Every structure is written in C-alpha cells, then in structure tokens.
Amino acid sequence: MWNKRELQRKIEEWLHEDLGFGDITTMSTISEGEQGIGILYAKESGIVAGLQIAQQVFETVDPELTFTAKVEEGARVEYGQQIAEVSGSVRSILSGERLALNLMQRLSAIATKTNEYVQAVAGTKARVVDTRKTTPGMRFLEKYAVRVGGGHNHRFALYDAVMIKDNHIKGAGGIAQAVAAARAAIPHTMTVEVEAESLGQVQEALEAGADIIMLDNMSNEQMVEAVQLIAGRAIVEASGGVNLDTIGSIARTGVDIISVGALTHSVKAFDISLDLNTRKR
C-alpha cells in the first residue's frame, strides 16, 4: 500500500509545520483534562479515502486517542454521513484536526474524481490511469487515492519505466535510436513506452519494438486508425485532451489505457468537517 516508515516521517514533518512549538490557541483555551469526541462527517457525496492516514495523524499527536472508522475505505458517502470519530484529549484532537482533515479531503477528492472517470468508461476495456502531475511530497498517497477510486497507476516516477517523449526523440535523433539506446541501458524486465503524435510515429514505434505506444493529442479518428495499425503488438495509451466529456468516446476507440492528469493536478478538496462534543473528566 505504502511505506509505513515513510508515511510516519511525512506526518511528523507536516505536524511540525502546523504545530511548531505547540497549538497556542488550544493550549490557552482548553483545560488539560478536557475529554471529548470529534465526529468527522461528509459535507458532500463521494468516495472516502485516507481513513488509516487520518488515524495515524491523530495517534502521532497523542497515542491515547482512539480513532474509529464508521465506513470502509473506498465507500461512497452522502452529505451529512458520519465517516469516523476520534475520542480522547480535546487538546490532542484539535491539534491533529487540520492535518487529518487536509489529507482526507485531498485523497477523498482524488478518489471521487477518479471514480467519475472510471464510471465514464464502463463497458469498454479501457483503464483509467494517473500521471506524475502530483503534489510534491504526496505522490505515494495521491496515487494510492487513485486506486481507491477504481483507477490504476502509471509509472511512479522517472526511475521505474522508460517513457520516450518528443524531446527525447529529438535529442536521440529519432524514435528508433531512442528505443535502442533505452533498451541497451535498462534491464529486460523494464518496459519502454514511446509517445507518438502521428500515425507515422506509431509505425516507427512499432518497428522499434516499443512495449507501449502513447497516442498524444490525437483525434478519435486517428486513434481508431492507430489501434488498427498496432493490432495488439503493443499496449495502446491515449493522452491529452481527456476530460469527463471526452473520455467515453476516447475509450470506444479501442485504446487500452487512458491517462488523465486531472485526477491529481486539479481536483477540488472533498468537504469533510469535524464537530467536537466535550465531556469533563
């Protein structure tokens, strides 16, 4: 799922950014012994993601806090529905509230948006995949949220797959040269993807032995031709100009994968709030 040690390091870093030397408002207005329950609830409908992460945030602030999820990860919730509750020291709940909500709101937004795209290609073979257009420092969480929403992950970073784009082609002197150079430098288990902007480049990529061919900003008619030309000899990816209005028709061209930068780079935070009920010890 993710590296727990890396997530813990990130949470500690983010808490330090927010808390610094302490939450002065909470420390000055809430007595040390005050106990309470924070109720997390949805203020819109969508897919919930990040419950375990929110729990880890609260438990990092105070190991004595108890976090209880009220829905499953990846569940669809409606406006006003309770998502989780956290009980214990009010000081601790309020100190961890903002970070826990920020993370859940971001990840739930990505999961919700991804699910909309997945539903839009239902009935086709196309898979919806993400890109590297992620928030710095949060890629592993944002790509996780894509999976929660029913999507799939593209390469995680620059080091785990070869993707030869227009500037690489120019620099290498052509598609054949770029693919040959990449093959010579990588293990046989690693895939090579080539970006093609025309049917001519699709043919070049095929002849060079590309494993995946990305059809960049092609019309639907061009993509149909490209799929027929490739004829199963490589995985076909569509990219560029993809939104909820266009993805259905793109999927029906017969492509295998549709990459969507909007899954992570331009989502609006999913609205989640925390209401506090206090009780004296």
Indicate if 209 and 222 belong to the same structural domain.
yes
Indicate if 72 and 17 belong to the same structural domain.
yes
Q: State yes or no: 165 annotated in a binding site.
A: yes
**Mean pLDDT in consecutive groups of 10 residues from the start of the chain, 281 residues:** 86 96 93 95 98 98 98 98 98 98 99 99 98 96 98 95 96 97 96 98 98 98 98 97 96 98 96 87 46
Q: How many domains are contained in the chain?
A: 2
Q: Domain range for residue 132?
A: 122-265
Residues in the chain: 281
Query: What DSSP character marks residue 152?
Result: B
43 given a catalytic annotation:
no
98 given a catalytic annotation:
yes
Indicate if 111 and 126 belong to the same structural domain.
no
Q: What is the pLDDT of residue 281?
A: 46
CA pair distance 58, 92, nearest whole angstrom = 8
Give backbone dihedrals phi and psi of 221, rounded to 5 degrees, phi first.
-65, -40
Pick the catalytic residue from 62, 73, 76, 133: 133
4 given a catalytic annotation:
no
Q: State yes or no: 50 annotated in a binding site.
A: no
Indicate if 111 and 145 belong to the same structural domain.
no
Q: What is the pLDDT of residue 1?
A: 63
Pick the catalytic residue from 34, 59, 195, 237: 195
Q: State yes or no: 91 annotated in a binding site.
A: no
Indicate if 15 and 82 belong to the same structural domain.
yes
CA pair distance 235, 258, nearest whole angstrom = 11
Indicate if 195 and 213 belong to the same structural domain.
yes
